Amino acid sequence: MNVVVPVVTTLFCGICFAALSVSGNCRAAVLQNVRRLNGSVSWNRMRREIAAFGSYVAGLAVPLVLSLPAGILVADYVHTRIMPLHQVASAVGNLASGSGEATSDLKSLQTEHTRWMQQNTPATSEQIHSLQRSLWFGWPMLATSGVTLVFLFGWLIFGFSKVTVREYARGIRHRRDMYERLDLQTMMMAQPTP
């Protein structure tokens, strides 16, 4: 399987999500943070805000980057060792339909799978039929396990993302307060004493 395209696509979507997930209030606060109280732009503050946004994007990308290889490895293992993914999809569709045609479709799928296993694995005929029996009778448990894992990874990614967004907003507020104090101190020191 070509893993470069899904990885790049996922990272691109993650970065787009990061940019879009920043609320309008946060964007306005960031733009306010780069300006001093007198209205001039501070390039040091702008660098800090860009660095903070970079950390924010990295915080959103890390869970995706960590979970993506696990998903790719599982899909690749299933695709190369157990059953090609297009056969998995048609088998689940046939088993879920439960119609009379499904049995004949499963018979042809079983023949196709046997042929594929003989060509791609060193398994014996007995091992292939044993694997097929467990796949045909255990598919509800396997499908439930797969869906549960997908939801678990999604829940973990969402949880990490929520914490990252909260921390980014907290950092924006903290820097705003720090910049205001610094600007007020600078303005007070700049005033001549009577």
Backbone φ and ψ for 191, nearest 5 degrees, come out as -75, 135
Per-residue confidence band for 1, with pLDDT thresholds at 50, 70 and 90: very low
Report the alpha-carbon angle 118-121-125, nearest 5.
Answer: 45
- pLDDT, residue 149, reads 80
Residue 193 has pLDDT above 80, yes or no: no
Average pLDDT over residues 100-117: 75
Extract long-range pairs of 40-43: CB within 8 Å, 24+ residues apart.
Answer: 42/179
Residue 4 has pLDDT above 60, yes or no: no
CA 57 → CA 12, 25, 40, 95, 155, distances in Å? 11, 18, 27, 42, 18
- pLDDT, residue 151, reads 82
Q: pLDDT by residue (tens digit) across 123-176?
A: 788 888 888 788 777 777 877 887 788 788 778 777 887 888 888 889 999 999
- Annotate the chain with three-state secondary structure: CCCHHHHHHHHHHHHHHHHHHCCHHHHHHHHHHCECCCCCECHHHHHHHHHHHHHHHHHHHHHHHHHHHHHHHHHHHHHHHHCCHHHHHHHHHHHHHCCHHHHHHHHHHHHHHHHHHHHHCCCCHHHHHHHHHHHHHHHHHHHHHHHHHHHHHHHHHHHHHHHHHHHHHHHHHHHHHHHHHHHHHHHHHHCCCC
Residue 13 has pLDDT above 80, yes or no: no
In terms of pLDDT, which residue wins out, 47 or 127?
47
Percent above pLDDT 90 for the chain: 7
Mean of all residue pLDDT scores within the chain? 78
Average pLDDT over residues 84-97: 73
pTM attached to this predicted model: 0.59
Query: d(Cα 99, Cα 95) in Å, to the nearest integer?
Result: 8
Q: Which sequence spans correspond to the domains of the chain? A: 4-190
Largest CA distance in the chain: 100
Q: How far is CA 165 from the centre of its chain?
A: 15
- pLDDT, residue 16, reads 66
- pLDDT, residue 124, reads 82
